[in-house]
């Protein structure tokens, strides 16, 4: 039997599931790259902006750096939640259906 995640699998349901997984993974990866490299670009090209104080002992750069870390946690949480709720459930349902044949 072909692995469920293999793109050459002839089952259209599994191919659709693999496409959905890939679409989510690529979207979240691109989003993380934009967030991270956007922050790095700000460091490289606008140090004055990041050095601006927004509170006692807190600069905009520190706040944005912390937000990059929080964004990483949130994107990871979203991916794990999506995989558990959609991908794993659909794969389990398919596997149980295949076992019954």
pLDDT digits (tens, 9 = 90+) for 59-81: 999 999 999 999 999 999 999 99
**Torsion (CA) 10, 11, 16, 21 in degrees, nearest 10:** -80
pLDDT digits (tens, 9 = 90+) for 18-59: 899 999 999 999 999 999 999 999 999 999 999 999 989 999
Backbone angles phi, psi at 54, to 5 degrees: -120, 0
Taking each helix axis from N to C terminus, what angle separates 12-45 and 88-99, rounded to the nearest 10 degrees? 160
The more confident residue out of 47 and 10 is 47
pLDDT of residue 19: 92
The answer to whether residues 9 and 15 touch, using CB atoms and an 8 Å cutoff, is yes
**pTM score of the predicted model:** 0.77
């Amino acid at each position: 039997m072909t692995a469920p995640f293999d793109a050459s699998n002839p089952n259209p349901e599994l191919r659709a599931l693999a496409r959905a997984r890939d679409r989510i993974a690529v979207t979240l990866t691109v989003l993380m790259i934009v967030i991270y490299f956007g922050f790095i670009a700000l460091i490289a090209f606008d140090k004055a902006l990041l050095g601006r104080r927004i509170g006692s002992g807190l600069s905009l750069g520190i706040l944005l750096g912390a937000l990059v870390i929080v964004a990483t946690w949130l994107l990871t949480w979203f991916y794990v939640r999506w995989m558990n709720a959609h991908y794993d459930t659909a794969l389990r349902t398919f596997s149980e259906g295949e076992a019954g044949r």
